[in-house]
Structure 1
Amino acid sequence: MILRSPKGWTGPKVVDGVPVEGTFRAHQVPLANVIGNPQHLQQLESWMRSYSPETLFDQKGRLLPELQALTPPSALRMGAVPSVNGGRVLVALELPNFADYGLEVPGPGQVIAEAPRRLGEYLRDVMRNNPHNFRVFGPDETNSNRLNAVFEASNRTAAGPCLEIDEHLATEGRVMEVLSEHLCEGWLEGYLLTGRHGMWSTYEAFAQVVDSMVTQHAKWLQQSREFAWRRPLASLNILISSHAWRNDHNGFSHQSTGFVDNVLQRRADVVRVYYPPDSNCLVNVFDHCLRSRNYVNVVTCGKQPDFQWLDFDAALKHCSQGASIWDFAGSDDGEQPDVVLGCAGDVPTTEAVAAAWLLQKHVPGIRVRLVNVVDLGILSAPEDRPHGMDHVSFEALFTRDAPVMFAFHGSTWVIHSMVHGRANEARFHVRGFSDRGTTTTPFDMVVLNRLSRYQLAIDALSHVPRLRAQSLDAVHFFESQLRKHHTWIREHFEDMPEIRNWSWTADFSESQTPPPLAKGHSRGQTFTDA
């Protein structure tokens, strides 16, 4: 049965001589001045009386007994349906041991891998263990985002006939793909609200398509916490593995980091933002997210081949702390550093580690400390974010007064807002995505946004007056490398050998070849990279 009714039906037909019922004017407040305009007040009273309240309520405002008798028994009320309060029927996931998905890392930066590959294997087994209450959602990007191992456990969901050319498609599939971020996010929300679990992977630039949807869900979570009868729900878990820094052939349209900007404007006790720097950290973080309740978790970790920094045990400790000093990359030996290099995000981490390497190689005696951040929120003071680091712990990482060059995946203002209120916050100098991009090489992207290892090293030295004289030659060399880069990519259409072949070496020797690829990982892109 379909009822088609005029907009504003049963409300005032005309207000101040202007038609309201059946027009666009009925959308908001048809009687805008009932306090100061007696005619508006009279129209409001007539409108309310038109519903004959005396036939519905007694003199004390209670629903008449004969109408009360029509209401269904408590258990049959719409609001009492179990799935409406999904937390009542929520069953915890049977999660595999995430340590079984650790990637072997013989030393920092000594192996190259696509971080989401192992996560895909982990999610595959989550699906196997939970065949009735876990789904994966994505806008036709499960393969592209390197999660294709999930197809060993389930197919894509088919809503129509399956053709011979279709791959991993079936009516009982539990991987829901359609090229609509709105649908994917909405499906996941509905799945969570009715007491199940899931995750959604998408391209970073197009996550912003659902900014308002994620905002409203976060607000709903915030409000629901105020009612004891609302049971906690599984968290809304979002994986961004096709991000702004490595959308190589897609170009400027796919280069935006603004989704996190929006998420971080929500209440700090509802949202969490993570930047795992490698595969082992990614699996650690996602296992944590799947166990969490009543959060919006945004995890950003690129799908392209990149350095793997931490073995599984080190990654577990690092992620449990949220941030830590990477001793292998520094030279301060526990003393007051000349400069701290902070980083959050896989690409910024590579550039920060490389900058630390360059500084130690070309400026002997410099004391560098490198701090990597996985859980972005801990940078804030605890009075601003519930899980923020206390000031003593913060200064144990970043010191109280040493200059900090911070390489960040997203907008620079994010870090500045996080460290607001910390001691000597003006000493934080942030480099991040500044909306400069094009179809270009990976290293050129960081150069365009002033985030390259050479630019970080130059900026760091500008804040170390103790070594100004000794660092002149190094600065000139770094500047010459930037000029060489500009020419090289235009002549060879790829990054310089010293960038492509670079890897961390404790003795600061130059690498002639890049580190080996982890088994099952690809160095090149495939046609599935939309």
Structure 2
Amino acid sequence: MPGQILLQANPPADGSLLPDSVLQLGVQLDAKDYLSHDELKAMKMFRRAADYIAAAMIFLNHNVLVERDLNHDDIKSRLLGHWGTCPGLVMVYAHLNRLIRNNAGLDALYVVGPGHGAPAILSSLWLEDSLSAFYPHMTRDRKGLEKLIASFSVPGGFPSHIGAGSAGAIHEGGELGYALSVSFGAVMDNPNLVVACVIGDGEAETGPTATAWHGFKYIDPAESGAVLPIVHVNGFKISERTIYGTMDDKEIIALFTGYGYQVRIIEDVDNIDHNLAASFDWALAEIKKIQSAARSGNPIGLGGPKSFHGEFIEGSFHSHQVPLPGAKTSAEELTALQEWLKSYRPEELFTSDGVPVPEILSIIPEAAEQRLGQKKESFRAYTPLTVPEWQGFCAEKDSQESCMKAVGRLLKAVVKENPQTFRIFSPDELVSNKLDAVLDESCRNFQWDSESRAKGGRVVEILSEHTCQGMLQGYTLTGRTGLFPSYEAFLGIVQTMMVQYSKFTKMAAEIPWRQPCGSLNYLETSTWARQEHNGFSHQNPAFIGAVLNLKPATARVYLPPDANCFLSTMAHCLRAKNYVNLMVGSKQPTPVWLSPEDADKHCIAGASVWKFASVDDGVDPDVVLVGIGVEVTFEVIAAAALLRKHVPELRVRVCNVTDLMVLGANGSHPHALSDEAFDSLFTPDKPIHFNYHGYPIELKGLLFGRPKLDRVSIEGYREEGTTTSPFDMMLCNHTSRFDVAAAAIRGGALSNPKVAVSAHEHESFMKHLAVKEREYIYANGKDHDDTFNTPTF
């Protein structure tokens, strides 16, 4: 039978498995008469009112209280929304209200996994008068009710899924699978917060949710709040049974007991309010008991038409979306809709002015700031980070330094300065990515590991990119700042999650009552250019393109060329708000090209001429060579040195781009160079060769709209690679110094006769050097020892 499964994490102090006696908690509850008569009446009336409004939102344009017979003009032209999940979501909302009222000072948020259940949430927000706090025209009276119902799922109105426009929401309800990990992220460093998270049984089938059940193992009850997961077992998805809907109680109990939860199954429709109230009280008491022990130093069937046209609706997949889709045109379905809506007896729920009756209001928290739709954690909680001056962590110019080692030193200081507002979410790659300096200041946070339990660890490592992403989102949207470092090739796993998040923040930025939040910060390292030892599977820079596709107001992509530039970029990103920041760099030691002062200027500009590698400081060039990315920039510098030696008559200007967005067409991005600035940097008419870390097509799309693009050539990652040597990776993808030098010769020959007369000879020589280099690599299994020595001029 469809119902709710309420779970309470109960990690044992010694990290052992839960005892067999926990299974006794999995039986169906018998909590008759748990609620008083008045409480039960108020609870049922709230539910009835919210369910009625939710159903009316899906169907009605007018006649919102059905005070006359419905006609087809009362029905919306387009029927949207998922009815099947609404009664369950309303039920949880009602019981959370009761819990908040009965526990003074309880801070709670409600995260809804079944995203298209927006009617349930919006109707409850209207009943508690939270909508009018943000939308003054949505008053809690007839006029406001009419506006709410008429504005659902119509142009300019509320969408059918939860989003940034929904008061109290911190989760975009489009793509399924992330509600639980978002909830765990939200409670981190929020010790007084309880997040009730409803996971639909369809969502529970996703891989991200399957791993997220382990999230409580990273929650230290001494420093963080708690998540109360609720599995809403409808039994059906769009047109098929769910896995959870086919499992019996024993199987479900065994599954979640294995995860480490205490289970309560609530499915007795006749006593469902008594059972749910008892379960919520029990769960909160268990949460308080665990938190109190940890902090003291001692750790330890629900509405809608039954059937129609000879097919069952309630209890089948037909109730999942719009149960009566033909109500706009069919007299028979219109009559059925009227009978359904009238069955809620709206005249008993609302006064003639459309105001909810006192019994309904009696279960709503009295203090507005305690209501689920008005918790500051969901829309006004940003705490800026204290970011130390990055210059104090810089490397000396002309030395060799790993960008990640330098960044690790900065992050260690950030952790020290922000012990409750900064976390790193890493898929088990922190040490591999050379960021382990952080661990000198903070341990990892894994509550089932005695070495790291209850030590305030700022690093969450779990080999699930989805869970890292979800936790990062929840942590960020509730006011803190996080960082997600990853191997470059595997960030694509969370691409759609990142896109969903950006949709939420894009809408949030357009809503005046939502305060800005910290940026979502990705640190992409172990890149294809130095993944030759792991092979082709680890070579993929495609996440850059995913960020480029976001709205320009949100997207930021940085490819700092050395350790000092990376420190400047990281400090900026940690302070920035409302962006999706992607930083791409290398963990291997590479030359430090710029002093701290020059790095600061370069990063502020986003791109500049590197005079030290250019002929005559870059004045009057025949060709412009541009490096974008650590390793490919090294090859540009090496090519410039090679050309200085073998083709001294060629006048080369070398540029570096650290902020990728400056290349966009004039006006296409807030950072885009004006056409005049673009020409000043890259000349108005000379050939330009880009040596780019990502896929060339990305750069082509970014440059589209700039004048005279026929002079541009681009090389980048060509989807060529294997287990080979670092320099062979450059050769495979035509980004080596020899390829760059050959491109420079071809370009310079167009305007410099001294170059043109020997161009074929010089280009052939460069190709010959490339062939000889590859022969050496394949014969010796490695690059020449001096391949990556810093070039001299």
TM over 0.5: yes
Q: For 1:54, which of 323, 330, 347 is the aligned residue?
A: 347
Q: Is the 8 A contact 2:619 2:653 kept in 1?
A: no
Summarize the alignment of residues 440-459 of structure 1 with structure 2, pairs less than 5 Å apart. Answer: 440-459=724-743
Per-residue Cα deviation, 1:144-200 (whole angstroms, up to 9, x for no partner): 11111111111001221426xxxx776431211111111111111111122112211
Whole-angstrom CA distance in 2 between matches of 1:33 and 1:145: 57
Which residue number in structure 2 is paired with residue 67 of structure 1? 360
Whole-angstrom CA distance in 2 between matches of 1:409 and 1:94: 32
Shift in Å, 1:268: 0.7
Indicate the SS of the match to 1:131: coil
Mark the CA change 1:41 to 1:387 in structure 2 (over 3 Å): closer, same or farther. farther
Which residue number in structure 2 is paired with residue 98 of structure 1? 390
Shift in Å, 1:131: 1.2
Query: Is 1:284 the counterpart of 2:568 in the alignment?
Result: yes
Mark the CA change 1:462 to 1:189 in structure 2 (over 3 Å): closer, same or farther. same
Mark the CA change 1:25 to 1:369 in structure 2 (over 3 Å): closer, same or farther. farther
Q: Is the 8 A contact 2:608 2:681 kept in 1?
A: yes
Indicate the SS of the match to 1:157: coil
Which residue number in structure 2 is paired with residue 518 of structure 1? none
Higher mean alpha-carbon deviation, 32-41 vs 460-469, is at: 32-41
Per-residue Cα deviation, 1:190-213 (whole angstroms, up to 9, x for no partner): 111221122111111111111111
Which residue number in structure 2 is paired with residue 336 of structure 1? 620
Whole-angstrom CA distance in 2 between matches of 1:392 and 1:229: 39
More helix by percentage: 2
Q: Is the 8 A contact 1:401 1:423 kept in 2?
A: no
Query: Is 1:76 the counterpart of 2:364 in the alignment?
Result: no
Mark the CA change 1:76 to 1:219 in structure 2 (over 3 Å): closer, same or farther. same
Shift in Å, 1:31: 4.6
Shift in Å, 1:453: 1.2
Shift in Å, 1:102: 0.9
Whole-angstrom CA distance in 1 between matches of 2:492 and 2:304: 38
Whole-angstrom CA distance in 2 between matches of 1:337 and 1:154: 50
Q: Partner amino acid for 2:400?
A: I
Identity, % of aligned positions: 38
Mark the CA change 1:65 to 1:450 in structure 2 (over 3 Å): closer, same or farther. same
Per-residue Cα deviation, 1:111-162 (whole angstroms, up to 9, x for no partner): 3221111111111111111112111220111111111111111100122142
CA RMSD of aligned residues (A): 2.2
Shift in Å, 1:499: 2.3
Query: Is 1:148 the counterpart of 2:436 in the alignment?
Result: yes
Indicate the SS of the match to 2:437: helix
Mark the CA change 1:60 to 1:431 in structure 2 (over 3 Å): closer, same or farther. farther
Mark the CA change 1:229 to 1:341 in structure 2 (over 3 Å): closer, same or farther. same
Shift in Å, 1:89: 3.2
Summarize the alignment of residues 124-523 of structure 1 with structure 2, pairs less than 5 Å apart. Answer: 124-162=412-450, 171-331=455-615, 333-463=617-747, 464-465=749-750, 466=752, 467-497=755-785, 499-500=787-788, 502-506=789-793
Q: Partner amino acid for 1:172?
A: G
Shift in Å, 1:36: 4.7
Q: Is the 8 A contact 2:532 2:721 kept in 1?
A: no
Q: Is the 8 A contact 1:233 1:293 kept in 2?
A: yes
Mark the CA change 1:14 to 1:126 in structure 2 (over 3 Å): closer, same or farther. same
Which residue number in structure 2 is paired with residue 527 of structure 1? none
Shift in Å, 1:68: 3.4
Whole-angstrom CA distance in 1 between matches of 2:309 and 2:745: 70
Shift in Å, 1:67: 2.3
Whole-angstrom CA distance in 1 between matches of 2:594 and 2:327: 66
Task: Indicate the structure (1 or 2) with the bigger Cα radius of gyration.
Answer: 2
Shift in Å, 1:328: 0.9
Q: Is the 8 A contact 1:34 1:41 kept in 2?
A: yes
Which residue number in structure 2 is paired with residue 512 of structure 1? none
Mark the CA change 1:63 to 1:456 in structure 2 (over 3 Å): closer, same or farther. same
Whole-angstrom CA distance in 2 between matches of 1:13 and 1:446: 66
Whole-angstrom CA distance in 1 between matches of 2:622 and 2:304: 71
Whole-angstrom CA distance in 2 between matches of 1:75 and 1:263: 36
Higher mean alpha-carbon deviation, 180-189 vs 276-285, is at: 180-189
Q: Partner amino acid for 2:428?
A: D
Structure 2 unpaired stretches of 5+: 6-231, 238-300
Whole-angstrom CA distance in 1 between matches of 2:320 and 2:630: 47
Whole-angstrom CA distance in 2 between matches of 1:58 and 1:263: 51
Structure 1 unpaired stretches of 5+: 507-530
Whole-angstrom CA distance in 2 between matches of 1:481 and 1:183: 47
TM-score of the two chains, using structure 2 as the length reference:
0.59
Indicate the SS of the match to 1:481: helix
Per-residue Cα deviation, 1:456-507 (whole angstroms, up to 9, x for no partner): 221232223332222232212111112112322211001135524x43111x
Q: Is the 8 A contact 2:624 2:655 kept in 1?
A: yes
Q: Partner amino acid for 1:63?
A: P
Shift in Å, 1:387: 2.0
Q: Is the 8 A contact 2:396 2:592 kept in 1?
A: no
Shift in Å, 1:248: 2.5
Indicate the SS of the match to 2:661: helix
Kindly tell me the number of residue pairs found equivalent between the two proteins.
495
Mark the CA change 1:58 to 1:117 in structure 2 (over 3 Å): closer, same or farther. same
TM-score of the two chains, using structure 1 as the length reference:
0.88
Shift in Å, 1:66: 3.8
Whole-angstrom CA distance in 1 between matches of 2:731 and 2:704: 27
Which residue number in structure 1 is paired with residue 256 of structure 2? none
